A = this chain, B = another copy of it.
Amino acid sequence: MRYDFGSDNTAGMAPAALDALVRHSQGPARAYGGDEVTARAADLIRQRLDADAEVRFVFSGTAANAIVLSMLARPFEAVLAHHAAHICTDETGAPGFFGQGVGLLGLPGFSGKIEPETVQAWLDEPEVGHRQPPAALSLTQATEYGTVYTEEELRHLIEPARARGLRVHMDGARLANAAASGFDLRQIARLGVDALVFGGAKAGANCVEAIVLFDRTLATRLDNRLKQAGQTASKGQLLAAPMLGLLESDAWLTGAAHANRMAQKLARGIATRSPFVLAHPVEANAVFVRMPEVTHAALQAAGWACYRFDDGSVRFVCSWATDDATIDEILDVIEGLG
């Protein structure tokens, strides 16, 4: 089976990430995140976001999102999120586990984007003791369906939510792809996001994501919280080094830009060489295609792993590692099945 387009997790480590890991792989270094590599990687993230923030590195996006949400909403409260958000559909209920039953309210919206009217409807709902009222808004940038919120769109979601006292979480597992697509990272703090998960794995690192807390009051005893949650790296420099490598070299962004270009190429190829229709605008690194089950099955039978999503379309994901030849290869296959 070929996993090239199955996920952006199927790629390995980008050269800049691997080089940094090798370079910083030897000790002795202070354990548990007190090392220099960790400190420098955190600095570079703050710099890229142009904001002061508490930064910690953890092992998985699932944990990062769930831990952050447990800071923003209590067990008897809920989080507003798109119903197709990763936290709703792909993390096995982790927010409820880390958040002791915190609720998720899945909102509709085209192509993975929440709409202001839907949020407003929830904000207008009278509070009652027997339900979990929303305490936080979770936004995914780039979205699960490969689209990218504009600054304007984010503002219209965040402002009314904050006005009603909600906290704001951004799942940035594919933040690099959003940035490469033109989203200005400096707006995240300015728009009023309280906590960001800054993605590493899909950008070419191994398993590392950064928790970024713009509201530092959330960070009291953060190290205790992460340790208890099993998300403290004893060998902190090894966790942070690939992220440092990606940021120092700018491969974090250039790799994502490459992935986005490959997705554009794939999308154009499908549009011009096959009868299949794109399900969503291609603004980041994923291409969603409406194809009959028989075609999907034939693709898989031909050895190409790719998955059908809840909206009925089939997803193809590109990464920093995708090359032109592989795009051509799968386009030939798809054309043949058309």
Contacts and interface: CB of A to CB of B under 8 A. Distances in A.
Contacts of A6: 28, 30-31
B26 A13 contact: yes
Interface stretch (A91-99, A147-155, A180-188, A274-282): A91-99
Interface string A11-45: 11100001001101111111110000000000000
A62 B62 CA distance: 17
Contacts of A74: 221, 225
A93 B234 contact: no
A7 to B, nearest CB: 5
A225 B76 contact: yes
17 contacts: A3-B28, A3-B30, A6-B28, A12-B24, A12-B25, A13-B25, A25-B206, A26-B321, A32-B130, A60-B233, A61-B234, A76-B93, A92-B224, A101-B101, A129-B226, A207-B233, A230-B230
Closest 7 CB pairs of A and B: A63-B230, A96-B101, A97-B101, A129-B223, A9-B234, A92-B228, A12-B26
Given A63-B229, A93-B103, A97-B101, 20 more contacts: A9-B31, A11-B28, A13-B238, A22-B22, A26-B321, A59-B60, A75-B93, A76-B92, A76-B221, A89-B130, A92-B130, A92-B131, A94-B228, A94-B229, A95-B101, A97-B100, A129-B224, A129-B232, A206-B238, A207-B234
